[in-house]
């Protein structure tokens, strides 16, 4: 996690260094900055060399979190021009110079500012100040649930409706696809429906809450009349194609493949193939356009992937492994030595093939783990 800690006085620099010491670990990269040079400005404290507003604009885009050591008013004035959306804004925390309070100011749930404020407070002996309503009432927070489970929120407006209903004691439903079991006990604020429940129709669903959450790999299948879609980014798209295929042709094939498979593009977390395709322009074009990482593996790596796959003697003869897309998808979906689960077998068309594998992941209702966005 990338954090910038900005201070404005000598006393603030001392507190900022305490924060850096408290938060510094293998998963956190934290730098301390000061607006003006002082005796604390050395290898541990960087001096802002540009206009402070320009510095803020840069770091607002690149950092996971920014901690201000100083007055909350200063933080508000500096971040105000940069605020865009709770889905993209970094966590903003304010700590007073004396280190008594750690205030979650912006992006409490999705940005993890609430967690960062608590972690900072625990590290320097301060008190965390968290004002989000769900935290105050210890209620289910859909944006926090989505963040913890790496889900794409289909509509922030509907997410606000869900939060309002939860806090107002109004009924909210919840359904998770059988491929995505959620560990633990359903929160009392929700009515959870079991696997096998039929999708919403205008007839036969009168007993369900009007408002509800559907956690699925397909954002287009609602289980409630007013349906908030949560799509986990948990699917690896295995791809192979003939050399020189047009980018537009490959994209049409992949979109059609995903549509027929009932998997939304939002669920795809990476694209995988054999290393012979590492420079294939059409695959790179698809990945860059849709901001997806592209991983490749050698034939020897692919051939060692356990499981039963659709074999092709032609592919084995030319590449050295009997199947690329299925094996690459499963290998790409491996997590902590657990192999991915092949959920859609190879589909082929005009020299292009694709398959889908699911990352083995435990979904949960609540976690205090503080991780990178």
pLDDT in tens, 97-126: 999 999 999 987 777 888 899 889 999 999
Please report the pLDDT score of residue 39 as a whole number. Answer: 53
Please report the pLDDT score of residue 37 as a whole number. Answer: 62
User: Average pLDDT for residues 247-252, to the nearest whole number?
Assistant: 97
Residue 367: pLDDT band (50, 70, 90) is very low
pLDDT exceeds 70 at position 55? yes
User: Average pLDDT for residues 73-81, to the nearest whole number?
Assistant: 93
pLDDT exceeds 90 at position 265? yes
Give 175-193 as a DSSP string. Answer: EE-TTSPEESPPPTTEEEE
Q: What integer best gives the mean pLDDT of the chain?
A: 89
110 in Cβ contact with 85 (< 8 Å): no
SS3 at position 46 = strand
Report the alpha-carbon angle 372-212-266, nearest 5: 45
Q: Classify the C-alpha dihedral 249-326-285-153 as positive or negative.
A: positive
183-212 pLDDT, tens digit per residue, is 989 999 999 999 989 999 988 888 899 999
What is the rounded CA–CA span in Å between residue 8 and residue 69?
7
pLDDT exceeds 80 at position 133? no
Which positions ≥6 away from 109 have C-beta within 8 Å?
Answer: 86, 132, 134, 141, 143, 144, 147
* Residue 239 or residue 313, greater confidence: 239
33 in Cβ contact with 47 (< 8 Å): yes
Please report the pLDDT score of residue 330 as a whole number. Answer: 96
Lowest mean pLDDT among 40-49, 66-75, 159-168: 40-49
Q: How much is the pTM?
A: 0.72
82-103 pLDDT, tens digit per residue, is 998 877 899 999 999 999 999 9
N- to C-terminal Cα distance for the chain?
Answer: 8
What is the rounded CA–CA span in Å between residue 32 and residue 135?
29
Please report the pLDDT score of residue 368 as a whole number. Answer: 37
pLDDT exceeds 70 at position 135? no
33 in Cβ contact with 67 (< 8 Å): no
310-330 pLDDT, tens digit per residue, is 988 888 888 889 899 999 999
Please report the pLDDT score of residue 42 as a whole number. Answer: 55
């Amino acid at each position: 996690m990338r954090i910038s800690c900005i201070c404005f006085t000598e006393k603030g620099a001392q507190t900022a260094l305490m924060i850096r010491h408290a938060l510094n670990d293998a998963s956190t990269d934290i730098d301390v900055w000061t607006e003006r040079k002082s005796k604390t400005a050395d290898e541990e404290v960087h001096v802002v060399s540009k206009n402070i507003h320009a510095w803020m604009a840069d770091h607002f885009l690149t950092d996971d979190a920014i901690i201000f050591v100083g007055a909350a008013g200063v933080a508000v004035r500096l971040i105000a021009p940069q605020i865009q959306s709770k889905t993209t804004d970094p966590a903003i925390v304010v700590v007073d110079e004396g280190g008594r309070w750690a205030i979650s100011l912006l992006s409490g749930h999705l940005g993890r500012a609430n967690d960062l404020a608590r972690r900072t407070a625990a590290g320097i002996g301060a008190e965390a100040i968290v004002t989000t309503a769900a935290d105050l009432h210890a209620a289910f927070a859909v944006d926090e649930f989505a963040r913890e489970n790496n889900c794409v929120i289909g509509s922030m407006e509907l997410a606000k409706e869900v939060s309002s209903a939860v806090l107002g004691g109004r009924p909210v439903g919840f359904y998770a696809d059988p491929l995505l079991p959620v560990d633990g006990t359903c929160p009392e604020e929700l009515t959870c429906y079991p696997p096998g429940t039929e999708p919403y129709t205008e007839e036969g669903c009168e007993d369900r809450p009007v408002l509800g959450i559907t956690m699925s790999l397909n954002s287009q299948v609602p289980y409630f009349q007013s349906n908030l879609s949560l799509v986990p980014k948990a699917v690896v798209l295995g791809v192979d194609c003939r050399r020189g295929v047009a980018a537009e042709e490959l994209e049409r094939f992949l979109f059609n493949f995903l549509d027929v498979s009932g998997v939304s593009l939002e669920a795809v977390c990476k694209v995988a193939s054999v290393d012979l395709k590492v420079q294939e322009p059409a695959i790179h074009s698809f990945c860059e356009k849709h901001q997806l990482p592209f991983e490749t593996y050698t034939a020897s790596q692919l051939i060692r992937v356990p499981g039963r796959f659709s074999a092709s003697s032609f592919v084995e003869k030319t590449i050295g492994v009997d199947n690329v897309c299925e094996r690459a998808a499963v290998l790409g979906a491996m997590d902590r030595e657990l192999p991915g689960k092949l959920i859609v077998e190879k589909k082929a068309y005009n020299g292009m093939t694709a398959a889908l594998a699911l990352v083995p992941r435990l979904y949960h209702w609540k976690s205090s783990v503080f991780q990178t966005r």
